[in-house]
Amino acid sequence: MAGAVNIMVRRRITALFLIMGCISFLLTFRLVWIQFIRSEYYQEEALKQRMREVQVEPKRGIIFDRNKKELAVSASADSVFAVPAEIKNAHKTAEALAEVVDMEVVYLETLLSKKQSFVWIKRKIDDKNSQKIRSLDLDGIGLTEESKRFYPNGTLAAQILGFAGIDSQGLDGLELYYDQYLRGAPGWIVAERDATGRKIPQGEQKYLPPKNGNDVILTIDEVIQYITERELSKAMQETQAKSGTAIVMDPKTGGILALANYPTYDPNHFGKYPQTSWRNASISNSYEPGSTFKTITAAAALEEGKTTINDHFFCSGSIKVGPDRIKCSHTEGHGSQSFADIVKNSCNPGFVTVGQRLGKDVFGKYIKAFGFGEKTGIDLPGEAKGIVRPPEQLRPIDVATNSIGQGIAVTPIQLAVAVSAVANNGKLMQPHLLKEVRSPDEKVIKKVTPTIVRQVISQETAKTLCETLAGVVTKNGTGRNAVIEGYKIAGKTGTAQKPGPHGGYAPGKYVGSFVGFVPADDPRLTVLVSIDEPKGAYYGGTVAAPVVREIMRDSLQYLGIPPSEPIDNDKGQNNTGESSQYLEESLNRTIHVPPLTDLSIVEARQMAKLLGLKVQIMGEGSKVVNQIPKANVRVVPDTTIILYLGDEQKNMAQGNTDQKGKMEVPDVTGKTIRDVAEIISYESMDINIHGSGIAVRQKPHAGEKVNQGTLVEVWFEPPSVHE
């Protein structure tokens, strides 16, 4: 019995030793496996657990105009972060930090107490607050340099450029459309830390530099953009309109030289503006074009041989289409007139007759060929197609109304491109804003060449129509207010009622527009201006044509395009009261505004004086940081150049804005209405004009600090009264 028990015990002991041996073998094998065979792998894994990564943001590429003038840049700005494990007293740290970063203590304490190795406190603060945080020298609180997007010209080209977000990501406009080129690739700072998140002395550290974004060069011309926005803003003040749009493009290349909308906004502070002001109405808003669309009707009829320039039409003041009657703006009728006359007079019955000759199918073919009802493909987000009904759905009355620009909705960019096709020998060009993309080391990554979409009409038809449209911009045409002495301009006015919310048309609501090109025999510029819901006068020839005239005049002078026609006193007189003598002097005695930025005030004064220009100083500082008008704009002698001063730290600042975003009201006393409107609109303020003549009083007073958009009231008196 005892022997049996001993055998059983020995067997159990043997089994236990075997089990222990197996376990020891497995443990030894595992140890060898970890320590020798997979040692490198586990060392890497351990290192990963100790490493903490902080992303380093790349600088977005610069956006330039076509002359390499900066429109959007990236400046360095410090961002505040926390390493909670290194903070000994979260409450005291939060109290010390709260006022500087403008955050609640309770919220800050919550952030600082998080069980994370890294927490953002506030991104991209200004230099003043950055210095304060450094002086506090708080444990666990650090600063890292990031890139902040800045738009040195403020509101200039805002709806083209768009804006970038806190992470330097494109959110709107070209910033969004070309984000893939502009944003670059992030880098990393990698540091070795212990389990509590503290840096390990002599621990491993790595820095992977970011790859900065590429630079984008546009077709936009900063000076022409400034001229366009200036004139559009003046028109808004004068007409008290709801909104407005202006486009300037090169008809031969499709390149957009300027594109402006009103109201606008400052992309540096886009969050302070309503989102409606971000909207690029020139590509996203559809409207009934009215008589400007008659250009397309005329082109189709001439190309199809349905009419000739010398064909005669009779206008009795209206025309009957089925049960409906379409009236002419000249209620007594134009009587017998040639086709050239119906274009010059913008005669509705004449164009309805032309539309009927074309028929819905042929007319519909040309509407589509000119690009209506589809996107132009311009390189901006949010483009609309407009509204064009297919030919099979058109009734006789629809063909009639379409022929005079009603019952069809187009975008401003569509119309500008279509009219440019007439100016460009019938070739429809692809509109574009991008000229080229360059890497930080100046290598060309992408280059845009002019693209012909299609030949819409023949060269012969285009030239005939150009001559016909030139007859509109004469002292007897509807576009007489667009006349510029010495230049032959072709164009078309348009006045359209706005559709009502429940069908039909809204009473008293109109869109006045004008589209034209210059010189008519060798077009260099196409300009479209649309004024939405002007108060008082609303005809396109009254509210839009003068704006086109001013944009064309200053742009032609800036580009150095000389007059091609002799001065004719009778032909050149327009309703502004400017005499031919004054216009001739303006053309022959103009001065290119010199670049005065980055000069000392003494140097700037001397240069301006040598050229016969006056100077007005705004702000304080040691250097000129901005000027109006911009460099290279042509002006007459004795023009006042406004110089904005700043110091070395404020070269990125615009105008006379303080750190709280306040604007200093400029002194406008002694100036004309035109000069006052220019100065006030540039400062992003609104103006209310009382009287006429010379400014004698203003409210708020000069030098007061106000917010952007503040209404400045200015009282004017005739010079004799003022003196």
> Which residues are tagged catalytic?
291
642, 633, 638: which is closest to 604 by C-alpha? 642
Give the Cα separation of 669 and 310 in Å (integer). 55
**Three-class HEC string of 391-423:** HHHCCHHHHHHHHCCCCCEECHHHHHHHHHHHH
Give the Cα separation of 146 and 635 in Å (integer). 41
- Tokens linked to 153: 């010209």
Q: 566: cis peptide before it, omega within 30°? A: no
Instruction: Dump the DSSP string for 356-392.
Output: HHHHHHHHHHHHHHTTTTS----SSTT----B---GG
**Burial of 40 (C-beta count, 10 Å sphere; 0-12/13-18/19+):** exposed
Sequence-distant (≥ 6) Cβ neighbours of residue 636 within 8 angstroms: 585, 586, 589, 590, 591
Q: Are strands 318-321 and 324-327 parallel, antiparallel or unpaired?
A: antiparallel
Residue 206 CB neighbour total at 10 angstroms:
11
Give the Cα separation of 634 and 610 in Å (integer). 16
**Is 238:536 a contact under the CB 8 Å cutoff?**
no
Give the Cα separation of 164 and 267 in Å (integer). 8
- Provide the residue type at 495 as one letter: T
Angle between helices 673-682 and 222-239 (to 10 degrees): 110
Return the SS3 of 458.
Answer: coil
Residue 106 CB neighbour total at 10 angstroms:
10
Instruction: Dump the DSSP string for 498-566.
Output: EEPBTBSEEEEEEEEEEEEEESTTS--EEEEEEEES-SS---HHHHTHHHHHHHHHHHHHHHT----S-
Give the Cα separation of 655 and 658 in Å (integer). 9
362: left (phi over 0), alpha (psi -120 to 50) or beta: alpha
Residue 321 CB neighbour total at 10 angstroms:
19
Q: 629: cis peptide before it, omega within 30°? A: yes
Sequence-distant (≥ 6) Cβ neighbours of residue 661 within 8 angstroms: 269, 272, 707, 708
Give the Cα separation of 220 and 64 in Å (integer). 8
Give the Cα separation of 4 and 314 in Å (integer). 135
237, 261, 158: which is closest to 679 by C-alpha? 237
**Is 330:315 a contact under the CB 8 Å cutoff?**
yes
Q: Where are the alpha helices (DSSP H) in 170-312?
A: 173-177, 179-182, 222-239, 281-284, 294-303
Give the Cα separation of 569 and 485 in Å (integer). 9
Give the Cα separation of 574 and 583 in Å (integer). 11
**Three-class HEC string of 473-498:** CCCCCCCHHHCECCECCEEEEEEEEE
Give the Cα separation of 409 and 375 in Å (integer). 13
Give the Cα separation of 257 and 66 in Å (integer). 9
